[in-house]
Amino acid sequence: MDNDKNDKRFSATTPGKRFMKLAGMSASIAGNFAKNRIKGALGTLTEEERMREREQLFSQVGEQIANTLGEMKGAVMKVGQIASQFKDVFPKEIADALAKLQKESPPMPFAVIERQIRQELGKEPSEIFAFIDSKPFAAASIGQVHRARTHAGEEVVIKVQYPGVDQCVESDLKHLRFALKMAGVLKVDKAMLDAIFDEIRRSLVDELDYVKEAQNVREFAAFHASDPLIVVPRVFDEYTATRVLTLAYEPGDDIRQVQAPRYSQEMINTLGHRLVSAIGAQIYSLHAVHCDPHPGNFAFRTDGTLVIYDYGCIKKIKPEIVAALRRSTRAAISENYAELDQALISLGVRNVEHAPHMTADFYAPWVGIVHQAFSETPFNFGTATLHEDVMRLARRSLKHWEAFRASPDTMLVDRAIGGHYWTLKQLGVNTAFRDALHKALDLKAA
């Protein structure tokens, strides 16, 4: 009976029921916005009070969206996780609230996991594996991971997708977009929003196909094969299907364990370089980048090895976008702001209809912040406040923000790069990355 109750609690509900939940959320949010507008129309609030009311409203709305998506799991929760990375699509307060969706989800009952394995692989789990740990190794929005052992004695991990998640992607995205539009919290025009949601949809569909993820794993393993200190787990094809992926167990230390005395500062710096070089090589040589910078997707070893897990969210980058990224980065390094502006237009992140040209006065402070992270002298990420500098500068630059927009070609790449700032910060890396950046920019296509 307990398992039946848990199955009902965690199973994907029908698209209709999910729509009603999202519609209820949007109606509540729209009501809150209407009350706020009425209060503002009365003219009794000062400008400072209006800003404070706005921030409080967006914080409340963000909490409401995050709580609703977190309860629903599946595609909408995954969208919420992605959205938390993009403050140019959502107001900052809402993106901050959505960030809590990055935390690990409650696990699915093991009976459901066994049933999925049986349905996908066509055999009883006990026929395939000598042992499966009923306690999940990790649990996320669309699936969870369990340690296991094959009958041949090989240690593996099994990634199992939650039942019904793939059936609700289209309706979840459609209804979530409608709910957010009704709530009035999206900051981009319809054409760009269409492109962004198309990109999110593509990413989700790819993530739900574990056969495709297995292909990604093999591609990245081959790409990094020349560096024995970058480990990509091996795929067990015979135990892999659309909703079940089996990989070799590759242990490593969690990011929270990477500290003295187990790791010296020199080794921490080495691991930081290995991570930055790997991401740079993926972008500029492989033209495909691992786009989920969640710390749980990376593990570390005391000999300097970097282990990279989870290849569901991979962004294939068009050659012309790689060229524009290279061009914009080189322009920023050389402080050629006219060239930087043109490169950003090529990337699709500059809205020339709002402002045909942006001046050096606008770009210089932003480039100054980036220069710190990629300087020629050591930079201490552990004590860095670049994120605070960015927010302060963003507030001073509000009147220029309509000159920029999110781009579906770069938003997942930005997610990877921006996310790893926090990885370097949590590791406490204290080193110089300018040479590593130049090496990445000089790489040719693989």
- Active site members: 292
Query: CA 398, CA 145: separation in Å to the nearest integer?
Result: 43
DSSP β-bridge partners for residue 379: 431
CB 207 within 8 Å of CB 311:
no
Query: CA 166, CA 314: separation in Å to the nearest integer?
Result: 18
Query: CA 275, CA 433: separation in Å to the nearest integer?
Result: 11
Amino acid at 242: T
Three-class secondary structure assignment of the chain: CHHHHHHHHHCCCCHHHHHHHHHHHHHHHHHHHHHHHHHHHCCCCCHHHHHHHHHHHHHHHHHHHHHHHHHHCHHHHHHHHHHCCCCCCCCHHHHHHHHHHHCCCCCCCHHHHHHHHHHHHCCCHHHHEEEECCCCCEECCCEEEEEEEECCCCEEEEEEECCCCHHHHHHHHHHHHHHHHHHCCCCCCHHHHHHHHHHHHHHHHHHCCHHHHHHHHHHHHHHCCCCCCEECCCECHHHCECCEEEEECCCCECHHHCCCCCCCHHHHHHHHHHHHHHHHHHHHHHCEEECCCCHHHEEECCCCCEEECCCCCEEECCHHHHHHHHHHHHHHHCCCHHHHHHHHHHHCCECCCCCCCCCHHHHHHHHHHHHHHCCCCCEEHHHCCHHHHHHHHHHHCHHHHHHECCCCCCHHHHHHHHHHHHHHHHHCCEECCHHHHHHHHCCCCC
